[in-house]
Amino acid sequence: MSIEIVETRDIAACHSLRRTVFMAEQGISEADEFDDLDGSAVHLLALDAGRAVGTARLLTEGATAKIGRVCVLKDYRGTGLGAALIRAGIEHLRAMGGIGTVKLGAQVHALGFYEKLGFTAYGPVYDDAGIPHRDMARAL
């Protein structure tokens, strides 16, 4: 498996992945999944021989950035691709300069995954589209 992670303007490919993972598998509504932030975000796309297999979205506001909408197709889970997407997002944000903190909203079942990538949970558990989440952050 030779996967490359690139910055993309192919929002349709990112949306297709998010439809598969978040809407079809997790039951999230289209209204909850798609917002007006996609247009101002940086989108990362993981490609395996040209096939889109994972994505993540990067948003910045001042010295804080947020990694979100991270998803990987079912047959690529457990391969390290999710971690590679997070690391690629962190490196992209570091290269931008001026970012001091990276945040994300983690599904509670994935807290350990993000902790291994240097994130620390804070605040209470909250509901996001019917799924328990918790905010996490790490210094850049």
Contact 53, 79 (CB under 8 A): no
pTM for the whole thing? Answer: 0.95
pLDDT tens for the chain, residues 1 to 140: 689 999 999 999 999 999 999 999 999 999 999 999 999 999 999 999 999 999 999 999 999 999 999 999 999 999 999 999 999 999 999 999 999 999 999 999 999 999 999 999 999 999 999 999 999 999 99
Number of domains observed in the structure of the chain: 1
Return the CATH number at 19.
3.40.630.30
What range defines the domain where residue 10 resides? 3-139
